[in-house]
Amino acid sequence: MSWIHIMILLPFIYAILVPFLYKLYSHKLHTGWFVMPIPVIIFIYLLQYITPISSGEKIYTTLAWMPSLGINFTTNVDGLSLIFGLLITGIGALVILYSIYYMAKKREALHNFYIYLLLFMGAMLGLVFSDNIFVLYVFWEITSISSFLLIAYWYQRPKSRYGAQKSMLITIFGGLAMLAGFIMLSMMTGTNSVQEIISQMNDVTSGPLFVPAMLLTLLGAFTKSAQFPFSIWLPDAMEAPTPISAYLHSATMVKAGIYLVARFTPVFGGAVEWFWIVSVVGMITMIWGSFYAVKQTDLKALLAYSTISQLGLIMSLLGLGSASMAFGFTEESAMYTVATGAAMFHLINHATFKGSLFMVVGIIDYETGTRDIRRLGGLMTIMPISFTLSIIGGFAMAGLPPFNGFLSKEMFFTSVLRASELPIFSMETFGIMFPVIAWVASVFTFVYCMILIFRTFAGKHQPERLEKKAHEAPVGMLIPPIVLSSLVVIIFFFPNIIGQSLLKPSLAAILPGFTQDGAFEFITKIEAWHGFNTELFMTIGIVIFGTLLYLSHKKWSSVFYTLPEWFSLNSVYNAALEKSETVARGITNNYMTGFIRDYLVYIFAFFSIALLTCVWVLKGVSLDISNNAPISIYEVILVIGIVISALGVLFSKSRLTAIISVGALGYIIALLFVIFRAPDLALTQLIVETVTVALFLLCFYHLPEFKKEHSRVRFRITNLIISLGVGITVTLLALSAQGNKLFEPISSYFENSYELAGARNMVNAILVDFRGFDTLLEILVLSVAGLGVYTLIKLRKQGSGTNETE
């Protein structure tokens, strides 16, 4: 139990205390103040790691959990997990500070809110620091569950519940797929630790499970990170309170998939499938998200789609960066690692500006009572600080200087331009696609950023359309976005601090093959000015085209409505859900008819078909009648009698005849027992048969008057076939078993029952002495049956059925 484990588990432990704190102090002090120190402590603790990590150390600690299964809570702190840990705790602290002012103390169930939030934070920390794939999966699912709880925080609203259900279905579907991929990985390599899998992966890249494991793991990453086509849950998750949207759906949870892809790049990277799937899905997500973000009229939905688009950008960069592994780890392949560097850099940048933008949108919502762009406008003079913050965030998102988005956007363009010249993966033909898509998506990004800023803050103020009188937010609410925005600016001016301390070790974790110094030197030389090159002209083109598109937005925005409403991923999802329900219900109603005769048909058909197939396939029939006793005339007569009475049951017109035929059958069997020298059996059989017939007659007598059927059994061809099948099956099995005696029976042992048990009657000696346990429990069966009959008769509900005593 080292400090790092304590720090990961601290949120979980503290979550237990939250309800007590809420109960004791909620009327005096906002519960958030009690929760606030936790992420701060963890953040400060994680800051200490920067120095050793940036000098190339890896800190690896183990806590035994299930050692016999090879599942231990091992933590691995390297550059990659440290970036995520700092993001989670830093933004977590800011979000909690923001939520203290955002969530009302009186109205909201704050203890629930902070418990879910702490659960989520702990799960996220565990996810990024776990080295064991199964522990990682455990934390992964806890993030899904806590996210589900947080989205449905206002569970009274149907839309919240819908969004929560949708996100849960999609992310848990991906999580389970990921678990399957992890199991395959652990089967291939024989270890559960990510680091050991990486070191052993070179042996199994050609194995049959390599591609399935890759696809399943990617399915998990894509669903969590809202990549196309699984991105549909993210816009609906905006029903959550705004601090949650800022925290989960911009900075942390949606980055879990990014983390997974980055973490497993050393495992799968270099494979052509990985390169294409990750980069192309990322590109599609990027352009799809940016295109749809322009359409939105709700600020949070706009930010949701922009998050999808930015995540697609990061994902595609990770895919492009993996190309460097295909080259081996040489000087020239290092130039392609710029994509991975850009991915990590943009990940940090995106967390800063997107978090701040969400908070600003929350402030607008809080102060004006609406998030609808069509109602807002002219808030520039009323909310100057928020306006400044959104300018910073929006321009950073659009990729303009002097904000950090500009730097990562430039690196992004560098990466796609270099990737388009890749000499492998048939990039000669398709390579040009990447810069084009990237550029078009960036244009749309620019447009929606401008919409976000200027539709909200510029233009005409319409106080009559707002629910409240707008004014600037309280200072406590403004502190977190101010901190994040100042980070946006600071990172632009001093990018190399981050580059040296965080990005470089994270690249060493993602691409561990590059051992020589100087492979990642570019990351510490990030500059805003490279001279006039293609990337700069691309940016200028984006600004020009984006401005033109924004100004003519009214003219072309009808393009969004050319596609009909049903032609969207959401309607596909809804239809699929509905369809699967109706189909499942239909199937169930088809075969679960409620008629016992149908179920008996299934049972008997399955029984005979399965057994006959087995017998057929395994050549199980071998009829050997050499050991059989000779057949005497009495047996023939009795068997003929049995057949006659059985047919009498089948073809009887009335039930009474059937009952009597059954009785005759039983008596003939008693006679068979007589002939086969089993007196005890004959005695018992006679008594039981008599009692049974009497009971049948009782039932017959009490049949209701109406609908009494005095007709023969209705003929059904399926029943005939199945009954014949079952009869044939049983006959075949009995004859085969009879003909294949493998060893002598043990009955010779019971023959000295007199010496062993002092009984001349062997059957009785077996029943009560050699094998008395069976008899004991048979007695129990009879007593249970008797008690059951008694209760059935005595404990009848009043008024149901006719009472026999009347």
Q: Contact at 8 Å (CB) between 292 and 538?
A: no
Q: Which token pair is 46?
A: 């994680």
Sign of the Cα torsion 628, 633, 639, 640 reads positive
Per CB under 8 A, which region of 74-82, 457-465, 667-675, 718-726 contacts another protein? 667-675
Q: Which residue of 556, 634, 749, 790 would you call a contact of another protein, by CB under 8 A? A: 634
Q: Is 667 in the site for another protein (CB under 8 A)?
A: yes
Q: Contact at 8 Å (CB) between 49 and 149?
A: no
Q: Is 760 in the site for another protein (CB under 8 A)?
A: no
**Minimum Å distance from CB 597 to another protein?**
27
**Minimum Å distance from CB 769 to another protein?**
19
Q: Is 664 in the site for another protein (CB under 8 A)?
A: yes
Q: Which of 143, 172, 160 is nearest to 236 (CA)?
A: 160
Q: φ, ψ for residue 373 (rounded to 5)? A: -60, -35
Sign of the Cα torsion 413, 417, 418, 419 reads positive
Helices and strands counted in the chain (H then E): 37, 2
Q: Which token pair is 167?
A: 């996100």
d(C-alpha 487, C-alpha 40), whole Å: 17
Nearer to another protein, 178 or 669 (CB): 669
Q: Which residue of 496, 690, 692, 736 would you call a contact of another protein, by CB under 8 A? A: 690
490-501 core/surface letters (b: 16 or more CB in 10 A; e: else): ebbeebeebbeb
All residues at 6 or more sequence positions from 767 whose CB lies less than 8 Å from its CB, including other chains: 774, 775
Q: Contact at 8 Å (CB) between 130 and 75?
A: yes
Q: Contact at 8 Å (CB) between 284 and 312?
A: yes
**Minimum Å distance from CB 674 to another protein?**
6
Per CB under 8 A, which region of 87-95, 422-430, 500-508, 678-686 contacts another protein? 678-686
Q: Which residue of 528, 650, 683, 776 would you call a contact of another protein, by CB under 8 A? A: 683
Q: Is 694 in the site for another protein (CB under 8 A)?
A: yes
Number of residues that bind another protein (CB under 8 A): 27
d(C-alpha 671, C-alpha 312), whole Å: 83
Q: Which of residues 697-716 bind another protein (CB under 8 A)?
A: 697-698, 701
**Minimum Å distance from CB 751 to another protein?**
16
Q: Is 328 in the site for another protein (CB under 8 A)?
A: no
Q: Is 458 in the site for another protein (CB under 8 A)?
A: no
Q: Is 687 in the site for another protein (CB under 8 A)?
A: yes
Q: Which of 81, 175, 507 is nearest to 322 (CA)?
A: 507
Q: Is 205 in the site for another protein (CB under 8 A)?
A: no
Q: Which token pair is 650?
A: 């089948």
**Minimum Å distance from CB 629 to another protein?**
14
Q: Is 644 in the site for another protein (CB under 8 A)?
A: yes
Q: Is 649 in the site for another protein (CB under 8 A)?
A: no
Q: Is 682 in the site for another protein (CB under 8 A)?
A: yes
Q: What angle do CA 581, 586, 592 make, to 5 degrees?
A: 120
Per CB under 8 A, which region of 92-100, 485-493, 600-608, 666-674 contacts another protein? 666-674
**Minimum Å distance from CB 712 to another protein?**
14
Q: Is 677 in the site for another protein (CB under 8 A)?
A: yes
Q: Which of 439, 459, 445 is nearest to 395 (CA)?
A: 445
**Minimum Å distance from CB 686 to another protein?**
5
Per CB under 8 A, which region of 56-64, 252-260, 503-511, 659-667 contacts another protein? 659-667
Q: Contact at 8 Å (CB) between 359 and 249?
A: no
All residues at 6 or more sequence positions from 677 whose CB lies less than 8 Å from its CB, including other chains: none
Per CB under 8 A, which region of 79-87, 90-98, 155-163, 694-702 contacts another protein? 694-702
**Minimum Å distance from CB 761 to another protein?**
9
Q: Tell me which DSSP letter residue 520 carries.
A: T
Rounded (10°) angle between helices 338-368 and 384-398: 150
Nearer to another protein, 385 or 642 (CB): 642
Specify the residue for token string 């919502």: 365
Nearer to another protein, 132 or 645 (CB): 645
The SS3 assignment for 132 reads strand
Nearer to another protein, 674 or 732 (CB): 674
**Minimum Å distance from CB 630 to another protein?**
15
Sign of the Cα torsion 50, 54, 55, 57 reads positive
Nearer to another protein, 496 or 692 (CB): 692
Footprint on this chain of another protein (rule: CB under 8 A): 633-634, 637, 641, 644, 648, 657, 660, 664, 667, 670-671, 674-675, 677, 679, 682-683, 686-687, 690, 693-694, 697-698, 701, 805
